[in-house]
Amino acid sequence: MSNNLRPMKIKSQSRNRRVSLGVTYTILIVLSIIWLVPLIWIVLSAFRCEYHADGTFIGRVTSNFFPKQFGLKNFTDLFTANYCGVPNAFPRWMLNTLIVAAADCVISTFLVLSVAYCMSKLKFKLRKPFMNVAMIIGLFPSFMSMIAIYFLLKSIGLSGNTENPALSLVGLIFAYSAGAGLGFQVAKGFFDVIPNALVESAKLDGCTNFKIFRKIILPLAKPIIIYQALMSFTGPWMDFIFARVIIGAKNPEYWTVSVGLYSLLFGSSFSDANLFTQFAAGCVIVAIPIVTLFMFLQKYYVEGVTAGAVKG
Amino acid sequence: MASKSKADPNKKPKGRGFFGSIGKFFSDFVKRFADGSIGTKLSHFIFGAGNFYHKQYVKGALFLLLQIAILAFMILCPTINGTPYGYKALANLTLKNVTEGGQFDPVSGKFAEFSSNCQLMVLFGFVTIAVIIIYFIIWNKNIESSYKADMDRKVGKKPSTIGEDVKTLFDQKFHITMLTPTCIAALVFTVLPTVFMIALAFTSYNDPDMNAAGTKLFGWNGIENFKSVFTGEGSLGVEIKNRFLPVLGWTFIWAIFATLTCYFGGIILALLINKKGLKGKKIFRTIFILTIAVPQFISLLAVRNLLGEYGPINSLLQNLGWIKEPIGFLGQNPGDSEVLAKIMVIIVNMWVGIPYTMLMTSGILMNIPTDLYEAARVDGASTTKMFFKITLPYVVFITTPYLISSFVGNLNSFNTIFLLTGGSPTYPGYAAGGTDLLVTWLYKVTIEQGAYNTGAVIGIFTFLITATITLVTYRRSKAYNEEDTFQ
């Protein structure tokens, strides 16, 4: 009796399983489509090349999801056009952002690693107070101090400097990276996992703390270095609030790419002067390197995020 | 002290409390002055004198230079943009004589350079206070250094040379080397601006007011601004009184919904993707991670246009004949529904936030001990039951810190609201629209309107809310109380 029942049970179980797998596939595919639609739409819009009956180009948002004609006009326009009175504005914005991002990446990563190491592996009197102060300061909304940072930078000529507006890029680098050291929690969580015994034994062998940091901690910290570098490098490509305030509306030459692209979209709403398709083309160009970087370093990103979240 | 330790039994009893350490600090001072050599005594007045006495010339010169530089700064009062530092900045901080900063220009109807000068007076006043604090820290260090050399002498050791001092900076005092850059940078670009903005909350500083009247002066006005949140009087006007509670309420509703939808949505998505026997896990994961990788200003502006009045979704619905007029999903036009805009931002936020939770919980799901499920299966538990009795409690238990931090993050989620709706639908006459959170309101009020005192008041409230939530939950969390067990 039981011999007969068994295969039937397995059979029905496997059928149940197949049904539930099928349902899962369906749900996941539907969700994937929902998740991809806006991104696909941006890419399609970037390649859209439609004209009015009178031959003028349609650059605004149109009601059709799929373009009627494809072309590279948006990209060629983007690279050659004169926006806000700046010739070849887009390549300039890209270069500005690259400079800021590279500098921010180096400075922020250094600051974060040095603080995280101190908080995790060195014992000193002001350790706990420092951590508490860092946390409390982190709770103030950053937009609150933004205007003060602007005044501060302006007073030392690193923002709104009419003689040498390029200096506001330096100001922007400061604004991005100066506070980075206070965001050490994720990296500290990572260092905490490195066994203290390793540090102690090195100390017994006569290593100085500096040597321990350089020879033991840094080589082990590769994942968190990559995570921090990735975060601080991509930051300036995504932020446009700080950039807009610190560089200012009057210096389109020194805008970062996000400020520039934002201006294309809202320069004039829903008229033919709205440059949505060129905005889309710019987005594709900005997104490709960042997404590629992200996908390659995904492993480190996941490690960093989970370390920060689970330990808390 | 006794009542405090009673309230918090987990706290280890310390040898001496806060007042004890202050007492020790002063008794140290007396002791050092009495016991110290003539050099140490002199150090109380001339920085580095003790170091010169002990032939530590480089160190002595460094202390002396710092003293001269700071004193020169205080006395000579260097000016930037016509605003002085030094003792004059301290006098300016009283804000009693700010009319000298600039003149009212009747042609443009604005104060020429006036407004930025009042700002700078407050800012430079605080810079000067910071410099004075630094002066006293250096003063203390200089005496300490001289006294240490005295003690070394007494026991027959040679006072440390500059070379040895530099060496300790890379070993026993390595933390000083490592923390100095961050401390300086954070002091200048984070602490000082925050203090400055907090101070502005207690002033009448307000661009529109100053430009309109011409007679209104900049000055301290105590807690009047905080009162006007409830009374609607004073330089903040009715904006903050009439809009504060609605915005605060919506901020909380938003944060609760945004956190919970993304959290549970993410867990469910992670479960779906990690289902046994499912093929193409990597592809699905990559698709969802794509939204994290694409910069938010791109993806959110894309969604904004997609849902826009002339966008594809509205025209699709129109072509299907479901609607006649385009729907203002995001409340862009004055007559659009506020409730719909609020629901839409929460839904779109799921699109943004679910992949994060998915990414986070994927790893945790795979680490759930399988024997738990085996046991449940033997007992005949259904899949649903196993989810609610095993999976969910396990994941929630581990990710509670994340839940809290994402709640706090959502209270301050600027990008989603600013890029999607910009706070729309608008209320005529007010800066804060229907979907504005405290942070986006803060941004509008300060950056767009220049009403710095209003902005500062909003900022302080935001801080109080996030700080309360964070401190209450964080102090209870394992991570804080058992920090040492991780090490």
Q: In one letter, which amino acid is A301?
A: Y
pLDDT of residue B8: 43
**Using the beta-carbon criterion (under 8 Å), do B442 and A241 form an inter-chain contact?**
no
Closest CA to B479 of B381, B398, B425: B398
The DSSP letter of residue A217 is: I
Sort B92 into a burial class: Cβ within 10 Å, 0-12 / 13-18 / 19+.
buried
Beta-strand relationship, B110-111 and B104-105 = antiparallel
Average pLDDT, chain A: 85
**Which residues, including other chains, have CB under 8 Å from residue A186's CB and lie 6 or more apart?**
A224, A227, A228, A304, A307, A308
Please indicate, yes or no, if residue B214 is contained in any of the structural domains: no
**Which residues, including other chains, have CB under 8 Å from residue B65's CB and lie 6 or more apart?**
none
What b/e readout covers B173-198, taking b as 16+ CB neighbours within 10 angstroms? bbbebbbebbbebbebbbbbbbbbbb
Which of chain B's residues have a Cβ under 8 Å away from the Cβ of A25? 278
Residue pair B234/B225 in contact (Cβ under 8 Å)? The answer is: yes
Write the DSSP string, B96-124: S-GGGG--EETTTTEESSHHHHHHHHHHH
Beta-strand relationship, B110-111 and B79-80 = unpaired
Please indicate, yes or no, if residue B110 is contained in any of the structural domains: yes
Structure tokens of A207?
Answer: 């290593």
Q: CA–CA separation, B162 vs B168, rounded Å?
A: 10
Q: Which residues of chain B have a pLDDT value below 70?
A: 1-17, 96-117, 207-218, 234-237, 476-487
Domain hosting B169: range is: 29-200
Instruction: List Cα–Cα distances, B363 to A189, B198, B259, B388, in angstroms.
Output: 17, 42, 20, 19
**Residue B344 and residue B471 share a domain:** yes
**Residue B151 and residue B103 share a domain:** yes
Percent helix, strand and coil across chain A, each rounded to 5?
75, 0, 25
Instruction: Quote the crossing angle between the two packed helices A89-121 and A127-138, to the nearest 10°.
Output: 150
Beta-strand relationship, B79-80 and B83-84 = antiparallel
B53-83 pLDDT per residue, tens: 888 888 889 999 999 999 998 888 887 777 7
Which of chain B's residues have a Cβ under 8 Å away from the Cβ of A135? 470, 474
Please indicate, yes or no, if residue B230 is contained in any of the structural domains: no
pLDDT average per 10 residues of sequence, chain A (312 residues): 54 78 92 93 91 80 84 89 84 94 95 92 86 85 84 84 86 90 85 86 87 89 89 88 86 89 68 77 92 87 69 43
Residues β-bridged to residue A70:
A48
B196 closest CB neighbour out of A31, A35, A148: A148
Please indicate, yes or no, if residue B225 is contained in any of the structural domains: no
Q: In one letter, which amino acid is B425?
A: P
**Residue B261 and residue B190 share a domain:** no
pLDDT of residue B263: 92
**Which residues, including other chains, have CB under 8 Å from residue B11's CB and lie 6 or more apart?**
B5
Residue pair B445/B433 in contact (Cβ under 8 Å)? The answer is: no
Q: Which element (helix H / strand E) includes B253?
A: helix B237-273
Dihedral sign for Cα A109, A112, A117, A118, please. positive
Please indicate, yes or no, if residue B350 is contained in any of the structural domains: yes
Closest CA to B259 of B363, B346, B355: B346
Size of interface A-B (CB pairs under 8 A): 281
Residues β-bridged to residue B80:
B83
Q: CA–CA separation, B413 vs A119, rounded Å?
A: 28
**Which residues, including other chains, have CB under 8 Å from residue B274's CB and lie 6 or more apart?**
B281, B362, B365, B366
Beta strands in B339-447 (DSSP E): none
Please indicate, yes or no, if residue B23 is contained in any of the structural domains: no
**Residue B432 and residue B324 share a domain:** yes
* Residue B384 backbone phi and psi in degrees, to 5: -60, -45
The reported pTM is 0.83
- Best of A63, A182, A196 to disrupt the B interface (most B CBs within 10 Å) is A63
What b/e readout covers B348-383, taking b as 16+ CB neighbours within 10 angstroms? bbbbbbbbbbbbbbbbbbeeeeeeeeeebeeeebee
Structure tokens of B335?
Answer: 């007559």
Residue pair B461/B228 in contact (Cβ under 8 Å)? The answer is: no
| CATH number of the structural domain spanning residue B402 | 1.10.3720.10
**Residue B387 and residue B301 share a domain:** yes
**Using the beta-carbon criterion (under 8 Å), do A270 and B278 form an inter-chain contact?**
no
The DSSP letter of residue A181 is: G
Instruction: Quote the crossing angle between the two packed helices A298-311 and A222-238, to the nearest 10°.
Output: 100
Structure tokens of A82?
Answer: 């004169």
Chain A closest CA to B61's CA: distance in Å? 27
Which of chain A's residues have a Cβ under 8 Å away from the Cβ of B363? 302, 306
Closest CA to A238 of B188, B425, B247, B352: B352
**Using the beta-carbon criterion (under 8 Å), do A32 and B284 form an inter-chain contact?**
yes
Residue pair B397/B451 in contact (Cβ under 8 Å)? The answer is: no
B296 closest CB neighbour out of A135, A210, A238: A238
Residue pair B357/B266 in contact (Cβ under 8 Å)? The answer is: yes
Instruction: Quote the crossing angle between the two packed helices B338-366 and B296-306, to the nearest 10°.
Output: 140
Domain closes at, from B146, B173, B200: B200
Q: Does A294 touch chain B (CB under 8 A)?
A: yes
Task: Tell the residue number behind the tokens 């959170």, with chain if given.
Answer: B437
Residue pair B226/B198 in contact (Cβ under 8 Å)? The answer is: no
The DSSP letter of residue B311 is: S
Task: Tell the residue number behind the tokens 């009747």, with chain if given.
Answer: B106
Q: CA–CA separation, A8 vs A2, rounded Å?
A: 10
Domain closes at, from B181, B200, B219: B200
Q: Is the peptide bond before A91 cis (omega within 30 degrees of 0)?
A: no
Q: CA–CA separation, A47 vs A70, rounded Å?
A: 5
**Residue B253 and residue B151 share a domain:** no
User: Which of A:208-267 have CB within 8 Å of B?
Assistant: 208-210, 213, 234, 237-238, 240-241, 245, 258, 261-262, 265
**Using the beta-carbon criterion (under 8 Å), do A290 and B293 form an inter-chain contact?**
yes
Instruction: Quote the crossing angle between the two packed helices A2-46 and B237-273, to the nearest 10°.
Output: 130
Q: Does A27 touch chain B (CB under 8 A)?
A: yes
Closest CA to A258 of A227, A231, A290: A290
If one counts every other C-beta atom within 10 angstroms of the C-beta of residue A148, the result is 27
**Residue B263 and residue B131 share a domain:** no
**Residue B274 and residue B187 share a domain:** no
**Residue B316 and residue B426 share a domain:** yes
**Residue B53 and residue B132 share a domain:** yes
Please indicate, yes or no, if residue B365 is contained in any of the structural domains: yes
B189 closest CB neighbour out of A155, A179, A258: A179
Instruction: Looking at A47-141, list the stretches that DSSP marks H as alpha helix, in order from N- to C-terminal side.
Output: 73-80, 89-121, 127-138
Domains, chain A, ranges and CATH?
2-77 (no CATH), 91-311 (1.10.3720.10)
Question: How many domains would you assign to chain B?
Answer: 2
Residue pair B124/B90 in contact (Cβ under 8 Å)? The answer is: no
Q: CA–CA separation, B236 vs B243, rounded Å?
A: 12
Q: CA–CA separation, A202 vs A205, rounded Å?
A: 5
**Residue B256 and residue B129 share a domain:** no
Chain B closest CA to A231's CA: distance in Å? 11
Please indicate, yes or no, if residue B226 is contained in any of the structural domains: no
Q: In one letter, which amino acid is A201?
A: S
Residue pair A63/B314 in contact (Cβ under 8 Å)? The answer is: yes
**Residue B438 and residue B360 share a domain:** yes
